[in-house]
Structure 1
Amino acid sequence: MARKFFKSSETSIMINRYSWRELIGIYCGIAVFLFFMLAPFIEGFLVSLKPLAQLFSSPYSFWPENGSFEAYRTMWISVPSFGRYIFNSLLISVVSTIIVLILVVPAAYAFARFRFKGMALVLGAFLAVSMFSGAVLLIPLFRLMRTLGLLNTYYAMIVPGAAFLIPSAIWLLRTYMMRIPPELNEAAYMDGASQFYTFRRVILPIARPGIIVVAIMTFIGAYAQQFIFALTFNSKTEYMPLPVGLFAYFGKQEVIWNELMAASFVGIAPAMVIIFFLQRYLVGGLTAGAIKE
């Protein structure tokens, strides 16, 4: 209790170092930053509440008049496979994240703990690969997927997506694992533990916050990059993720903007819920360390 009071006192002392002018400047800067970050989302949500005729009225009205959630209801009717699109996007993202974590966690540990010939070259190659856009390799990837018989399947979107996410994930998690004291490995070795046992029982619990961060970033990346791979490697409706499903429907004759915005917000809602719960575990894991209970 005393420690908690001491820490809160230290925090208040640090805050009180700023004058009222500096505090106003800090909060104004934060407000401006949040405005530019949240303004597109706020505008998109308000567009989903407006009647379609109001979107093209002059002068343009920012706040919706006679706004309603009608677009959210008609969107489900207009796009019968909308629920399937969301399921496909979540399935592709979750499976890609699992594959990346299975491959990246031991690889990042090896790059962080061991030194071997050519390690710098391999890490540099990972960094170079992560700079390439998936569009550059679409033709060779298409030929490869056709040869393997993976076109018009989930694998055609999962495998390339995971492959492009692995290099950046290794770099991110390797940096975190390098901060774990190597004395823990030495202490486990002195107690007779093998490398695998040390990795599984000592390193993984400590690296949990970093692994969750990598999982969040990988999930976001997998959810965001589905359009180009799905558009190229898939033509079946039952395998379409959300971005291609919306593109295929709303781009035929006209763009129904209020329904499109409604579909976009409904589509990102499951991903936001998953990320929210992962962030809760992340905050809880940040307080965990190499403390023996």
Structure 2
Amino acid sequence: MSHPSMINRYRWYELIGIYVGILLFLTFVLAPFIEGFLVSLKPLSQLFSSPYRFIPENGSLAAYRTMWTSVPGFGWYIFNSFLISGTITIIVLILVVPAAYAFARFEFRGSGLLLGAFLAVKMFSGAVLLIPLFRLMRSFGVLNTYFAMIVPGVAFIIPTGIWLLHTYMRRIPRELDEAAYVDGASQLYTLRRVILPIAMPGIVVVAISSFIEAYAQQFIYALTFNSKTEYMPLPVGLFAYFGRQEVVWNELMAASFVGIAPALVVIFFLQRYLVSGLTAGAVKQ
């Protein structure tokens, strides 16, 4: 009879299969990033040499130094990207938290249909609505402003945030609301003092996903609704510069990695909240 501690142990060939699968997955996921980073280290003369060298010869960080002078306003583009993404994330959280609480706690006619409509919005590409949005922004006179890029981002991210957070809040016991009601607490007080502290891991998950989506979708809206350099986020700023002349690939890769580095730093410091949000409820208290 086997010992109970042996039940959940993997055999050696099962472990090999697991690690080989993880290695293959990481290879496909990380290979483009590794190649892009190596391109940023290569001299321009090596990028199109034959035979192609995967590992750079005499690699250096020269492209990371020269891109700051080659791309005018590079630091400002990064600031714009963070300003737009951060503002979108804050607005989304302000609107999503009470909406998710309402869908999770209140039963009202058409709630399921409305949630389905939110999900249906995500099925349409943002490009389909570019012309109507452009006409709308022009009629309000907000083209070439941050506002023109923030509003569409908020509108397309809110449905995902509501779905994620309302599912999380539904797992919070209703007895907590009932106990607060018995003590004389209003719905707003219950949300603010009882539900929000418990739902904070889920809110952080929504915040991170909203920030990443806002950071990733800036190109199409900024390219359509803005033509002023001072409002350009990083993707459009790089496109505007490198699209006007011969592409300097090593500097482009260097600029891309520097541009995404701040977002990676933010995610790195918030990852413990992300993990706690994904695993909340797994252990019975």
Deviation at 1:13, TM superposition (A): 5.1
Rounded to whole Å, the distance in 2 between the matches of 1:66 and 1:184 is 63
Deviation at 1:285, TM superposition (A): 6.5
| 1:106 equivalenced with 2:134 (yes/no) | no
Deviations 1:226-245 (A, max 9, x none): 00000000000000000000
Q: Rate the CA distance shift 1:277–1:137 in 2: closer, same or farther, 3 A.
A: same
Q: Rate the CA distance shift 1:278–1:14 in 2: closer, same or farther, 3 A.
A: farther
Alignment of 1:92-241 (within 5 A): 92-241=84-233
* TM-score, normalising length: structure 1: 0.91
CA RMSD of aligned residues (A): 1.6
Rounded to whole Å, the distance in 2 between the matches of 1:286 and 1:143 is 40
Alignment of 1:267-278 (within 5 A): 267-278=259-270
Whether the aligned pair in 2 keeps the contact of 1:109 and 1:174 (CA below 8 Å) is: yes
Aligned residues: 278
Q: Residue 74 of structure 2 aligns with which residue?
A: 82
Query: Which of residues 230, 241, 256 is equivalent to 2:248?
Result: 256
Query: Which of residues 60, 65, 76 is equivalent to 1:73?
Result: 65
Deviations 1:64-123 (A, max 9, x none): 000000000110110120000000000000000000000000000000110101111111
Rounded to whole Å, the distance in 2 between the matches of 1:95 and 1:13 is 52
List gaps (5 residues or longer) in structure 1.
Answer: 1-9
Whether the aligned pair in 2 keeps the contact of 1:206 and 1:288 (CA below 8 Å) is: no
Deviations 1:39-68 (A, max 9, x none): 111000000000011000000000000000
Deviation at 1:286, TM superposition (A): 7.1
Deviations 1:208-263 (A, max 9, x none): 01000000000000000000000000000000000000001111121111000000
User: What is the DSSP-based 3-state SS (H/G/I as helix, E as strand, rest coil) of the residue aligned with 1:180?
Assistant: coil
Deviations 1:18-45 (A, max 9, x none): 1011011111111111111111110000
Rounded to whole Å, the distance in 2 between the matches of 1:287 and 1:38 is 25
Deviations 1:251-283 (A, max 9, x none): 112111100000000000011111111213344
| 1:33 equivalenced with 2:25 (yes/no) | yes
* TM-score, normalising length: structure 2: 0.94
Q: Give the letter aligned to residue 140 of structure 1.
A: P
Q: Give the letter aligned to residue 186 of structure 1.
A: E
Q: Give the letter aligned to residue 209 of structure 2.
A: M
Q: Give the letter aligned to residue 57 of structure 1.
A: S
